[in-house]
Amino acid sequence: MNSWDAGLAGLLVGTMGVSLLSNALVLLCLLHSADIRRQAPALFTLNLTCGNLLCTVLNMPLTLAGVVAQRQPAGDRLCRLAAFLDTFLATNSMLSMAALSIDRWVAVVFPLSYRAKMRLRDAALMVAYTWLHALAFPAAALALSWLGFHQLYASCTLCSRRPDERLRFAVFTGAFHALSFLLSFVVLCCTYLKVLKVARFHCKRIDVITMQTLVLLVDIHPSVRERCLEEQRRRRQRATKKISTFIGTFLVCFAPYVITRLVELSSSVPIGSHWGVLSKCLAYSKAASDPFVYSLLRYQYRKSCKEILNRLLHRRSLHSSGLVGDSHSQNILPVSE
């Protein structure tokens, strides 16, 4: 194993560690907080988190073994199962992000009727659709024997070893990425850009009201006026930054792998094995970034984390004080005798 392989293996190990801890923390927050569970987005977050954990526990270790051993890391049956899960979980992750973007679009565009339009039942139907959509392609690939170990990515995924099926496999791969990656990307762009447009419109209305108020308050100190205007600019920048993060992480993590899969169909363009594994690692890194992008940086999740930490520290302090009390009583008893 050369330095490139060692670096890729280290990247995989780091991604696995961050993904496992962060997604487990999101799951703990969902279990701990009833307020989070009552909201419709909790179902989308739960679906995304469980998928990320499955990918971390099952697919990433096999890819790591493939990188280290430079060969198929498991038997054919296990590798086909891992390839089925890899295709299903990647599609489910993309569609879950699209579902979260639709939820936020409804919340911003229809704030007064959001609870009527996005109930838990509606969210459950959307999650059921993502599962059916995500299951369709790996089921078809399993029936056509297009699941196995792919040396270029050192992982069990979609692949075809028969030259006479190259055209059919190319059409299948193109349709798969069009109805998973491209569809989710279009939904993300349409919904979040609409959210940004509505948010900027509301900011402009607030700016007009604020400026009218500041004009009327002629005796207001200039520093107060500057702070108000600065807060308005920060509000606009926060909205733009959040939406850029949602769309940017999706592209950075998934686009290199999808483009590599499509370029791979053309035999005239050579692809290095290290780039293939690196693009796969970038796709895996989405499982590590999702908890921070969609959950842990939000106020409700941060509050739930603090409550969990305080409860653990409180139990530990009670346990330690109980031990101290016991030892103190044991020291006193002989003296009293």
In this structure, of 29-33, 209-213, 239-243, the range with the lowest mean pLDDT score is 209-213
The answer for residues whose C-beta is within 8 angstroms of residue 278's C-beta and 6 or more apart is 8, 11, 256
pLDDT of amino acid 335: 43
Between CA 21 and CA 27, with CA 23 as vertex, the angle to 5 degrees is: 115
Q: What domains are there in the chain, each with its CATH number?
A: 3-185+243-302 (1.20.1070.10)
Is pLDDT above 90 for 136?
A: yes
Count of Cβ atoms closer than 10 Å to residue 259 Cβ: 13
- 162 residue type, one letter: R
316 pLDDT tier (thresholds 50, 70, 90): confident
Is pLDDT above 70 for 63?
A: yes
pLDDT of amino acid 333: 44
43 pLDDT tier (thresholds 50, 70, 90): very high
Query: pTM of the prediction?
Result: 0.84
CB 80 within 8 A of CB 148: yes
- 70 residue type, one letter: Q
Of residues 250 and 73, more confidently modeled: 250
Of residues 311 and 213, more confidently modeled: 311
Is pLDDT above 80 for 224?
A: no
Condensed to tens digits (0 to 9), the pLDDT of residues 169-197 reads 999 999 999 999 999 999 999 999 998 88
Average pLDDT in the 142-151 region? Answer: 92
336 pLDDT tier (thresholds 50, 70, 90): very low
The answer for residues whose C-beta is within 8 angstroms of residue 293's C-beta and 6 or more apart is 245, 246, 249
pLDDT of amino acid 227: 67
271 pLDDT tier (thresholds 50, 70, 90): confident
Condensed to tens digits (0 to 9), the pLDDT of residues 69-116 reads 888 988 899 999 999 999 999 999 999 999 999 999 998 888 888 888
Condensed to tens digits (0 to 9), the pLDDT of residues 8-31 reads 899 999 999 999 999 999 999 999
The answer for residues whose C-beta is within 8 angstroms of residue 315's C-beta and 6 or more apart is none
334 pLDDT tier (thresholds 50, 70, 90): very low
Question: What radius of gyration, in Å, describes the C-alpha atoms of the chain?
Answer: 26
- The tokens describing 124, both together, are 């459950």
CB 51 within 8 A of CB 96: yes
Q: How are the residues of the chain apportioned to helix, strand and coil, as percentages rounded to the nearest 5?
A: 85, 0, 15
Transcribe 199-228 into DSSP letters.
HHHHHHHHHHHHHHHHHH-TTS-HHHHHHH
pLDDT of amino acid 297: 86
Tell me the percentage of the chain whose pLDDT exceeds 90: 53
pLDDT of amino acid 321: 65
The three-class DSSP label of residue 325 is: helix
Condensed to tens digits (0 to 9), the pLDDT of residues 114-127 reads 888 888 899 999 99
